[in-house]
């Protein structure tokens, strides 16, 4: 198993709008196509603000690539992107591999 950590740094004050659009329109699409959502987070008070962080689990890089390609071709997702991309200042994607003792995906 691998985990993708996606960090979106949004323009100041745009987190509520981003979350509204994503929650109302994007979440169901991503959950259906990407599958294993591990968590969604915001930074509200401490550290770097105006960002959202989400984690998605995949069986492999090939699994991730196939699911991301399906998402990128989905008309509903493209409509969501048209609304949320202008809110995003920058983004970062990191692939994480669980350690053997990790509760998610590690060997026990």
- Residue 108: the pLDDT is 46
- Residue 80: the pLDDT is 98
Q: What is the share, in percent, of the chain residues with pLDDT greater than 90? A: 85
2-96 carries CATH number 3.30.70.100: yes
- Partners of residue 9 on adjacent β-strands: 51, 90
* Rounded Cα gap, residues 12 and 73, in angstroms: 30
- Residue 107: the pLDDT is 61
Mean pLDDT of 7-31: 96
The number of angstroms, rounded, from the C-alpha of 99 to the middle of its chain's C-alpha atoms is: 21
- pLDDT bucket at 13, cuts 50 / 70 / 90: very high
Q: What is the share, in percent, of the chain residues with pLDDT greater than 70? A: 96
For the chain, domain boundaries: 2-96
């Amino acid at each position: 198993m691998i985990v993708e950590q996606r960090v979106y740094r949004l323009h100041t004050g745009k987190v509520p709008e981003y979350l509204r659009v994503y929650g109302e329109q994007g979440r169901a699409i991503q959950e259906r196509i990407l599958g294993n959502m591990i968590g969604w987070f915001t930074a509200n008070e401490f550290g770097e603000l105006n960002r959202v962080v989400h984690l998605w689990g995949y069986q492999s890089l090939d699994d991730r690539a196939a699911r991301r390609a399906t998402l990128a071709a989905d008309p509903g997702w493209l409509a969501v992107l048209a609304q949320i991309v202008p809110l995003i200042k920058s983004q970062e994607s990191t692939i994480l591999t669980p350690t053997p003792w990790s509760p998610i995906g590690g060997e026990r």
